[in-house]
Amino acid sequence: MRFEAPRSVEEAVTALAGQTGAHVLAGGTDLLVKLRAEMIEPELIVDIKRIAGMRDVVAEDGGWRIGAAVSGAEMGEHAGLCADWPGVVEAVGLIGSTQVQGRATLAGNLCNASPAADSVPAMVAAGAVVRVVGPKGTRDVAVIDIPKAPGKTTLAAGEFIASVFLPARGARSGDAYLRFIPRTEMDIAVVGCGIALSLDAAGRVAAARVSLGAVGPKVMLVDAAAEAIQGRVLDEAALADLAAVCSAAATPIDDKRGTVDFRRHVSGVLARRAAVIAEARAKGEQA
Amino acid sequence: MVKVLLWGSLADLAGGAREVAVEAATLRELLDGLARDHPGLRPELDRGVSVSIDGRIYNDSWFTPIGPESEVVLLKRLQGG
Amino acid sequence: MALDDTKKTKDFKVVGTRPNRPDGIDKVTGRARFGADMVAPGMLTGRILRSPHAHARILRIDTSKAEALPGVKAVVTRADFGDVPDHVANVIDNCMAGDKALYDGHAVAAVAANSAAVARKALKLIEVEYEVLPHVTDVDAAMKPGAPVLHEGWQQETVPAGYSGNVISRVEFGHGDVEAGLAKADRVVARTYRTGATHQGYIEPHACLATMSADGQGDLWVCTQGHYMVRNVCAAILGMEQGQLRVTASEIGGGFGGKTVVFLEPVALMLAKKSGRPVKMVMSRSEVLRATGPTASTSIDVRIGMKKDGRITAAFAELRYQGGAYPGSPVDMGSMSAFAPYDLENVKTVGWDVVSNRPKAAAYRAPGAPMAAFAVESAIDELARGFGLDPLAVRLMNGAKEGTRASYGPTYPAIGLIATLEAAHTHPHWTAPLGENQGRGVACGFWFNFGGDTCVSLNVTPDGTVTVSEGNPDIGGSRASMTMMAAEELGIPYDQVRTIIADTGSLGQNEVTDGSRVTFAVGLATIEAARAAKREMCKRAAMIWGIDEEAVEWEDGAARPAGPNAGKFPPMTIKEIAAVASNTGGPIAGHHEVTAEGAGVSFGTHMVDVEVDPDTGATRILRYTVFQDAGRAVHPSYVEGQFQGGAVQGIGWALNEEYIYGEDGILQNAGFLDYRIPVASDLPMIDTVILEIPNPGHPYGVRGVGETPIVPPLAAVANAVSAAAGVRMTRLPMSPPRVLAAMQAAKG
Amino acid sequence: MSRIHVTTTVNGDATEFLCDAEATLLDVLRDELGLTGTKEGCGTGDCGACSVTVDGRLVCSCLMLGAEAEGREITTIEGMAAGDTLHPLQQKFIEMAALQCGICTPGILVAAKSLLERNPDPSEEEVRYWLAGNLCRCTGYDKIIRAVMETAADMRRAS
């Protein structure tokens, strides 16, 4: 195995081009676990952290462009991100321990392509777009289109994610992400739910994006959930409808972390709770 | 004679008696006497037992004295963690 | 000289205080050397190839390609060990599979190579041809006729006809007439309870460093709860004389019973023997979970009858414990301890030891008792609540006391159960208000505690300070406790004594650090060794003063003339006597070798408040209080630490920890990610109340305290969750999906 | 396969080492540099026993390659005391019996120090969540949490 730490995107693309068994290293919190477990035996590891800009958070078009090597801890310390996309920041903050937070990244969480990745439903709800670089140039891709199947992404050979773009939050808007785990920390999500919504002047839901994690082979954007609350005040009836739609939309499996029935039920529970938080944030309340 | 209380399944192997009498003044004499008088107990005795004498539990000390009025109870060999 | 046999509380100067531990600085600075921290010149790395099948016949192992790989210095399989004595046959078969691999992770071969990378590569070159066999991992399934049988012909004479060969033994305890007693009850609860298999979960993986010389001498550095056990077992397996194998215990990073057996050690020695080089082996976490530890999973039927005033009329439990691939589940201990806290006229327990395709169960803190207590204490709680009675009052009414005939046979001497119950009953926790979705549970627990072979050597140095050598690895502060007892007995300051853990070449046989025995048994031997040294020092003073030995007594660290005819001499301190030791007969020491008997049994009562989320079934522990009899708390901080640690391990067992096997018999959660031990944010502070009912079998009244604290929490938490959720939980762990499903089923 | 030459700073000392590309920082610290105070409990970032700081940021050294240490500043448990003067956390852990076996202790101390550098007045909940990635199987965490909070109070009083 070889290790390279290129200083530019071009160098990284060159290093990865045509190299079989090459893996990109950002935070490494998934990659090193797989390496150690001998699930992967790379020929080459390309550390992208020394590429200019990879560790920066930059304001762009009213939103934020987050370098692929920005850690969860750094996001949590960024006042602008925390103010605009608290749900995304909280979601990335849920990944692993304080120690893991010191390294784990949004891009890595996405490329690991686990259906249970915490930050991914939050990014999907936020309408995040990633900038993919590779031998054929640069392209912007919606986060929802990156995961293909458990452990697999739509990235082509030699491509990697250079940054994640969170769009402008918009007026009267808020987001939230909740997950269910058996302990209070250190577990993989049994169910995750991200919601981003905007309210109209009357406090009705003007637009919403609702996503679910860990209840299907990949993250899902639940359009029916958004439709269920569209134009409504988030009263008990609306929340109950939201919960029912999310429970129905979930297509989970039984595994060591949870059962089908449990995951379906909790999908609705989390959607309801996350919606209340997102609504409060959209109203400018502390939540 | 010392009266020895046997646990339930051990009693079955000693002919059904929950209590047997053995001529013994020490733990060693007690264990030897039980094996001699009740051959059915031998496999369990060979696997090892603990013995409660007047409420104190002994595992190994052969020459622990046993009085004729002592309360003697055989126990499965204790394990710990 | 006059020496009191027992000290009274008011006399203690050191015991009962909280000095800093002698190994503290090493452990907070990273200097302390644990199992994996040792190196030797020319050292090789050893690694183990493990079975990917739950049950398979090993048809052929071809190691030739691995042996040919450059850098590989030795390859070992079961064949290298040949025939071994009967008493270690199962031990080596568990360390290295023979004809069959009996569980996922069972070792089948090992290599030693000059780097970890080469060793890893070599494992891949070992070809093993398996014939995969049907497997069974569930205890009830393993007992059924027709279940895949692990070992033909191993069933003991105690098992009636009609059971699978996996049922190894049956045991029965009790007295009275259970059926007649149940007939007198106003209500009988009859339920089946199940517990998952848990792992001891020590944070330090098993590790050792072995060397073997051509002349047959061996040395082993190892993290273990008992290096004398390691010596004896490894010597038997390798056909060595015990005196030729010197074992040194490293600092030990947790054990809880899981390091009372060997796993790597015989293999490392064999690799060292074949390679002629030192071999270091360190397990990965997944190896620890797949192939060491765990405890038994259980299925337990309980029937208890109660009068409406709370009096128990009869109690019955049938306990089925699968202990993994070899006989020896802790069902005997479970059967003996199940009803130990109660004064019962009619009681019976039946225990079944069952093998299955899982790693062989190792002891885990009060082995066998927590599961039995979970079942029994749940049933008692259900009865008490059903009659609208105070669960603590019911336990006080039925609780065992001095003179009670224990369910396992003997009559109790002075014991502390009632004291713990009374302390719980009057504690503010018991009457604190509870909120919505919250519940409070209580439960009692019992453990035997042991003594066993123990040696202590106490030496007085020329400057009059003292060294104590003991042979039991210090797993939770025992060097501090021994130092305290030596200082107490000698009447000198704590910092004038240093205690070390000696290697197997330095002391006689020592029983493993288990059964909560160390503070009791090693403490007893330390006190006796100090008394021997005091006698010698009194003798030296008598020589110097020219008076009779009998006319000298020891007090406050000095020899003093005593009695009317002793004469008037100023006291001679330990330092003064030590300074002239060479002139008065030579170096001064005391030592004591004993098979300690008379460890006092111990009882505890736990109280816990929980909140259950009605929407998700998630349980949060809100408040927890432990009440336990310590006999005498030598270092109260470490007693509290045992209470707290045991309680939290029990909370983990109750809520989240379990071995999860797939249909394929493969362990699905062999890592700390999905084997979920409690984390700091899961817990509140764990309050403790230490009761002190002295053990008459120890000079200072000490009882073991380490194991009892894990006995009550499974039931205490289950009783609290059942109260909060409004439905009786009978299966552990009470994971959120199980609690939610139970709540939904109860709602209909 | 040639080894990688890395120049870094460990506990304030300029340090060079050679490592294989797949070697973790934990492997390097323990096996190349002899700094065995950093422990391996799991190798998967789930136990925190291998906690160190890299450029002041708390990480699991098992989840970082040794090669990544180039130009970084690493601090381990061995760098916590100043000569024979213990850090207040180290002293308090001993005094309050906040360790039993001691295997998790180095990682917990490194993590707790990192917390107090960021938050000198943490609540009990903040301490518990910050340390959630540091498993301890002996203590039930009670005395650890108390020791961290008391140290924080002492350090606030002293400053």
Query: Same structural domain for residues D32 and D52?
Result: yes
Q: What is the mean pLDDT of residues B3-27?
A: 89
The CATH number assigned to the domain holding D102 equals 1.10.150.120
Query: Same structural domain for residues A112 and A205?
Result: no
- pLDDT at res. D75: 98
- pLDDT at res. B16: 86
Nearest CA distance, B80 vs chain C (angstrom): 4
Assign domain C9-32+451-596 one CATH number from 3.40.50.720, 3.40.50.970, 3.30.365.10, 3.30.930.10. Answer: 3.30.365.10
Residues 73-102 of D with CB under 8 A from C: 76-78, 80-81, 86, 90, 93-97, 99-102
- pLDDT at res. B8: 83
- Note whether D136 contacts C203, CB cutoff 8 Å: yes
**CATH code for residues C297-410+603-747:** 3.30.365.10
Rounded-to-integer distance, Cα D138 and Cα D104, Å: 9
User: What ranges make up the beta strands (E) of C461-571?
Assistant: 466-470, 497-501, 552-555, 558-561
DSSP readout, C727-738? S---BSS--HHH
D11 class by beta-carbon count within 10 Å (0-12 exposed, 13-18 middle, 19+ buried): middle
Spatial CA neighbour of D115 closest among D69, D56, D66, D61: D56
Query: Same structural domain for residues D93 and D71?
Result: no
Residue C726 pLDDT > 70: yes
Rounded-to-integer distance, Cα D34 and Cα A238, Å: 61
Query: What would the two tokens of residue C713 be?
Result: 């929490």
Residues spanned by the domain of D19: 4-79
Rounded-to-integer distance, Cα A1 and Cα C356, Å: 41
Rounded-to-integer distance, Cα C477 and Cα D93, Å: 13
Q: pLDDT by residue (tens digit) across C262-304?
A: 999 999 999 999 999 999 999 999 999 999 999 999 999 999 9
- Note whether A28 contacts D64, CB cutoff 8 Å: yes
Count of structural domains within chain B: 1
Rounded-to-integer distance, Cα C438 and Cα C248, Å: 50
DSSP secondary-structure letter at D17?
A: E
Which residues of D are less than 8 Å from C647 in CB distance? 140
Rounded-to-integer distance, Cα C650 and Cα C657, Å: 9
Neighbours of C1 (CB within 10 A): 17
Which residues of A are less than 8 Å from D17 in CB distance? none
Confirm whether B49 is domain-assigned: yes
Q: Which of D141, D145, D146, D149 to mutate to test the interface with C (most CBs of C within 10 A)?
A: D141
Query: Same structural domain for residues A116 and A143?
Result: yes
Q: Does A235 touch chain C (CB under 8 A)?
A: no
Q: pLDDT by residue (tens digit) across C476-520?
A: 899 999 999 999 999 999 999 999 999 999 999 999 998 889 999
- pLDDT at res. D1: 58
- pLDDT at res. C186: 98
Spatial CA neighbour of B7 closest among B63, B56, B72: B72
Count of structural domains within chain D: 2
Q: What are phi and psi of B4, to 5 degrees?
A: -120, 125
Confirm whether A58 is domain-assigned: yes
Residue that is last in its domain, among D62, D79, D96: D79
Q: Does A259 touch chain C (CB under 8 A)?
A: yes
Residue C142 pLDDT > 60: yes
Which residues of A are less than 8 Å from D22 in CB distance? 1, 35
Query: Same structural domain for residues D47 and D99?
Result: no
C30: left (phi over 0), alpha (psi -120 to 50) or beta: left
Q: Does D38 touch chain C (CB under 8 A)?
A: yes
Which residues of A are less than 8 Å from C117 in CB distance? none
- Positive or negative, the CA dihedral B63, B68, B71, B74 is positive
Confirm whether A140 is domain-assigned: yes
DSSP readout, C285-302? HHHHHHHS----EEEEEE
Q: Which residues of chain A have pLDDT under 50?
A: none
Number of Cβ pairs < 8 A linking chain B and chain C: 109
Interface TM-score (ipTM) > 0.95: yes
Query: Same structural domain for residues D69 and D134?
Result: no
Confirm whether B35 is domain-assigned: yes
Indicate the pLDDT class of residue C3, thresholds 50, 70 and 90: very low
Rounded-to-integer distance, Cα C166 and Cα D30, Å: 45
Residue that is last in its domain, among D14, D45, D79: D79
Residue that is last in its domain, among D48, D79, D110: D79
- Rg (alpha carbons) of chain A, rounded to whole number: 19
Rounded-to-integer distance, Cα C228 and Cα C263, Å: 15
Indicate the pLDDT class of residue C564, thresholds 50, 70 and 90: confident
Contact C577, C464 (CB under 8 A): yes
Query: Same structural domain for residues D28 and D54?
Result: yes
- pLDDT at res. C10: 56
- pLDDT at res. A94: 97
- Note whether A5 contacts D68, CB cutoff 8 Å: yes
Rounded-to-integer distance, Cα C719 and Cα C727, Å: 10
Say which of A2, A5, A32 has its CB closest to residue D24. Answer: A32
Q: Does D36 touch chain C (CB under 8 A)?
A: yes
Residues 25-64 of D with CB under 8 A from A: 43-46, 48, 51, 54, 57-60, 62-64
Query: Same structural domain for residues D106 and D64?
Result: no
SS3 of residue D142 by DSSP: helix
Query: What would the two tokens of residue C586 be?
Result: 């030579």
What homologous superfamily is domain C37-133+205-252+259-291 in, according to CATH? Answer: Aldehyde oxidase/xanthine dehydrogenase, a/b hammerhead (3.90.1170.50)
Query: Same structural domain for residues D71 and D49?
Result: yes
Indicate the pLDDT class of residue C4, thresholds 50, 70 and 90: very low
- pLDDT at res. D53: 98
SS3 of residue C206 by DSSP: coil
Residues spanned by the domain of A65: 51-166
Helices (H), C417-522: 417-426, 428-431, 478-490
Residue C521 pLDDT > 80: yes
pTM of the model: 0.97
Spatial CA neighbour of C54 closest among C143, C124, C142: C142
DSSP readout, C654-697? HHT----B-TTS-BS--STTTS----GGG---EEEEEE----TT
Query: Same structural domain for residues A89 and A65?
Result: yes
Query: Same structural domain for residues A204 and A259?
Result: yes
Chains D and C touch (3+ CB pairs under 8 A): yes
Rounded-to-integer distance, Cα C406 and Cα C472, Å: 31
Confirm whether B81 is domain-assigned: no
DSSP readout, A25-85? ESS-TTHHHHHHTTS---SEEEE-TTSTTTT-EEEETTEEEEETT-BHHHHHT-HHHHHH-
Q: pLDDT by residue (tens digit) across A71-105?
A: 999 999 999 999 999 999 999 999 999 999 999 99
Q: What is the mean pLDDT of residues C538-566?
A: 93
Query: Same structural domain for residues D119 and D101?
Result: yes
Q: What is the mean pLDDT of residues C320-331?
A: 97
Which residues of C are less than 8 Å from D41 in CB distance? 203-205, 253, 285, 672
The CATH number assigned to the domain holding A112 equals 3.30.465.10
Indicate the pLDDT class of residue B47, thresholds 50, 70 and 90: confident
- pLDDT at res. B79: 77
Rounded-to-integer distance, Cα C205 and Cα A104, Å: 26
Confirm whether A114 is domain-assigned: yes
Nearest CA distance, C366 vs chain B (angstrom): 6
Which residues of A are less than 8 Å from D122 in CB distance? none
Q: Which of B74, B76, B77 to mutate to test the interface with C (most CBs of C within 10 A)?
A: B76
Q: Which residues of chain D have pLDDT under 50?
A: none
- pLDDT at res. C1: 34
Strand pairing report for C619-629 and C686-691: parallel
Neighbours of A52 (CB within 10 A): 10
Residues 9-68 of A with CB under 8 A from D: 25, 27-29, 32-33, 35-37, 45, 47, 49
Residues 684-723 of C with CB under 8 A from B: 697, 707
Query: Same structural domain for residues A274 and A214?
Result: yes
Residue C2 pLDDT > 50: no
Residue that the structure tokens 């005593």 belong to: C562
Q: Does A257 touch chain C (CB under 8 A)?
A: yes
B67 class by beta-carbon count within 10 Å (0-12 exposed, 13-18 middle, 19+ buried): exposed
Residue that is last in its domain, among A99, A134, A166: A166
Same fold yes or no, C9-32+451-596 and C37-133+205-252+259-291: no
Residue C88 pLDDT > 70: yes
Residue of D nearest to A94 (CA): D129
Residue of C nearest to A257 (CA): C674
Q: Where are the domains of chain C?
A: 9-32+451-596, 37-133+205-252+259-291, 297-410+603-747
The CATH number assigned to the domain holding D16 equals 3.10.20.30
Rounded-to-integer distance, Cα C259 and Cα C227, Å: 10
C627 class by beta-carbon count within 10 Å (0-12 exposed, 13-18 middle, 19+ buried): buried
Nearest CA distance, A51 vs chain C (angstrom): 30
Q: Does B64 touch chain C (CB under 8 A)?
A: yes
Count of structural domains within chain A: 2
Residue C394 pLDDT > 60: yes
Confirm whether A115 is domain-assigned: yes
Residue that is last in its domain, among A142, A166, A190: A166
The per-residue b/e assignment along A113-137, b for 16 or more CB within 10 angstroms, e otherwise, is bbbbbbbbbbbbbbbbbbbbbbeee
Q: pLDDT by residue (tens digit) across C161-203?
A: 999 999 999 999 999 999 999 999 999 999 999 999 999 999 9
Query: Same structural domain for residues D58 and D31?
Result: yes
Beta bridge partners of A180: A191
The DSSP element (H or E) to which A124 belongs, if any, is: helix A119-126
Whether residue A135 is preceded by a cis peptide bond, meaning omega within 30 degrees of 0, is no
- pLDDT at res. A287: 63
Nearest CA distance, D157 vs chain C (angstrom): 23
Query: Same structural domain for residues A131 and A233?
Result: no
